[in-house]
Amino acid sequence: MLAGVLIFAGGKLLLESVLFEHQFRENYQPQRVMTAIGGPGEKGVDLFKVRRIVSAKHHAVREPLMETKISFTLNGKARSVTTDPQRSLLEVLREDLRLTGTKYGCGEGQCRACTVLVNGASTASCITSVADVDQQAVTTIEGLADGDKLHPVQAAFLSEGAFQCGYCTAGMVMGVVGALTENPQASESEVMAKMQKHICRCGSYVKYSKAIKRVLAPSGKGHA
Ligand code: FES
Ligand code: FES
């Protein structure tokens, strides 16, 4: 009798867990979830918090908002889009503005492949809603070079062959530029500390580290 009750309770728990997982996957829209829990941030994503919010609010989270005109400076030029303000900056950059240098990695703020600069600060565009950059200045990898002249960070990465598949490279470059924009006198260890959030699935960290050393080489300080 007791064994039967335990088996029934265990089975019920397992079924509920599977159903929850299914519901979570069906309704999980990272950029909207992140908007719901406070928009962009440097903190790690609390998946349990995300799950609770998706479970409690997913109908509200899924509801598109009225299209809104959002204007910002993009790579030095004025741009505007009229769209659902909850959409991620990454999606708008890639799909609407065709700037595909910024990559979609995890979509959850955990890998930094999608890094752009917002007012000079390194920002994960996958968890930043486009509404958050209204009236702000956004720089993408396409905006770094001056004509044919590469930005010093791009040139250093190229000189060191600092990439393998290259998928994470634009995010890495933007991360270094962001670190040096924030603090042009940053030391190597300070830049490295900022880059801890960036993930390279190819494991090209040694080359990236050499590229950063090269950027800082002449004086040991930054050249943003
Ligand atoms: S795609 Fe944005 S942090 Fe991974
Ligand atoms: S070079 Fe392939 S993911 Fe970094």
Q: How many CA atoms lie within 13 A of 165 on its CB side?
A: 9
Summarised one tens digit per residue, pLDDT across range 164-215 is 999 999 999 999 999 999 999 999 999 999 999 999 999 999 999 999 999 9
| Residue 23, in any domain of the structure | yes
CA distance 75 to 85: 20
164 CA to centre of ligand 2 in angstroms: 5
pLDDT confidence of residue 64: 82
User: Quick check: 6 pLDDT over 60?
Assistant: no
Point out the ligand nearest to the CA of residue 198.
1
**Among 168, 197, 206, which is best to mutate for testing ligand 2, by the most ligand atoms less than 8 A from CB?**
168
Residue 205: what residue type?
Y
45 CA to centre of ligand 2 in angstroms: 22
Of 62, 87, 105, which residue is a domain's last?
62
Summarised one tens digit per residue, pLDDT across range 104-151 is 999 999 999 999 999 999 999 999 999 999 999 999 999 999 999 999
List the Cα angle 191/196/197 in 5-degree steps. 120
CA distance 208 to 156: 9
CA distance 160 to 215: 10
**Among 157, 201, 205, which is best to mutate for testing ligand 2, by the most ligand atoms less than 8 A from CB?**
201
The whole domain housing 195 covers 152-216
CB 97 within 8 A of CB 159: no
209 CA to centre of ligand 1 in angstroms: 21
| Residue 20, in any domain of the structure | yes
| Residue 176, in any domain of the structure | yes
CA of 126, closest atom in ligand 1: 2
Domain tally, the chain: 2
| Torsion, CA 120, CA 123, CA 127, CA 130, rounded to 10 | 20
Of 62, 81, 97, which residue is a domain's last?
62
Q: What is the mean pLDDT of the chain?
A: 81
